Amino acid sequence: MKFDSLQQGISFYENYTRVSGFDTRLYSTKKRKSDGKISLKYCVCNKEGFRETPRLQSNCKKKRPITRMGCNARITLKLINDQDNHIKFSFHEGHTHPLTTPNSAHHTKQSRNLTLAHKKYIMNNSRANIGATKSYRLMKEHVGGYQNMAASVTDFKNFQRDIKKHIRGKDAQMLIENFKRKQEICDSFFFKYEVDDKQHLIRVFWTDAIGWKNYASFGDVVSFDTTFSMNEYCMVFAPFTGVDNSKSCITFAAALLYREDTESFVWLFEAFRDAMSACDPACIITDQDPAMKVAIERVFDCSRTRHRLCMWHIMKKVPEKVGLTLA
């Protein structure tokens, strides 16, 4: 058999493996010393050869399954002229392992293909905090089964990993640009941020029209809490919350802080007052943070805003400070 190019020969063998029920991998090449063109190209079965040192497998943190079975199935493509034409130089058909059945052919590497629809689906779900595994299961229900997926859960995970790797170092700028677009669409959206001398985002505050309306109706008492878990950037989530007439929790605004010091809290409370048209609450409830207490006294008018400590935090620390009472 004669092929017009090396890639045409490789594609032909890959189509053959897809129909036959096994995967292939590119093994090795030989190049001509005169011009550097590939003179021989070997395409082998993915189960060709054996694992070199089984002892390395036991030392790995995650043990990998043994897939090499010494299979000799292969094709060799040879260059015959300067026009990059290749011919089938050798072909070995036999395998040392069972081939996949038509019902499981969709699991082979040649049959898996992460399409643009898959990538768009993964990105849309990631905006809703839906991981790759759950996205794979949801899409399986949409298409009617795993046999119609044309991709594996590993492909979904690898694509989401590549996305995170691509936006690493740019995510803070993407957040600010997203806030700017929201502000262009809605005038009631308010945000404020600050960076350090290395242009790292250290503080960001935001609120929208719903938060402003909630504060206008139920902003007499504000609860400010920073005891949430830190994210992977070591930034604390700090929401401003309250309670409506139905005793349901509502949100006025939110922020991310890199440090919990007086300077950060002063900046945050000033941003909160600017967003709420300098309308101070009648009471603000916080935990027992000394830096927070100093910041409240600097920003808010103590004659109109009373600072109270959260009873839940007090009762939580009573056993630590006083000790448990034994009956």
Over the chain (327 residues), what is each successive 10-residue block's mean pLDDT? 82 82 78 77 82 54 68 84 74 82 66 80 84 87 78 84 78 88 91 89 93 92 81 83 92 92 93 90 89 91 88 80 64
Distance, in Å, from the CA atom of 30 to the CA atom of 89, rounded to the nearest integer, reads 13
* Dihedral sign (CA 229, 235, 240, 244): negative
- pLDDT value at position 156? 86
- Predicted confidence at residue 53, as pLDDT, reads 56
pLDDT of residue 272: 94
**Using one digit for the tens of pLDDT, what is the confidence trace for 53-104?**
554 445 555 666 667 777 888 888 888 877 777 777 788 888 888 887 766 6
Nearest CA among 190, 167, 185, 151 for reference residue 278: 190
Residue 213 pLDDT:
93
Q: How many CB atoms lie within 10 A of CB 10?
A: 18
CA gap 165, 24 in Å, rounded:
28
Give pLDDT, residue 104. 64
Query: E strands, 61-102, where?
Result: 74-79, 86-92
Give the pLDDT score at 57.
Answer: 47
pLDDT of residue 327: 44
In order of 70, 90, 95, 285, the CA distances from 75 in angstroms are 15, 6, 13, 74
Number of neighbouring beta carbons within 10 Å of residue 135: 23
pLDDT at 150: 73
Averaged pLDDT of the chain: 82
Question: What is the rounded end-to-end Cα distance, in angstroms, of the chain?
Answer: 92
CB 209 within 8 A of CB 186: yes
- Beta strands 201-207; 190-195: pairing state: antiparallel
How far is 22 from 111, CA to CA, in rounded Å? 10
- Please state the length of the chain: 327
d(CA 256, CA 270): 15
The amino acid at 244: D
For position 197, what pLDDT does the model report?
Answer: 86
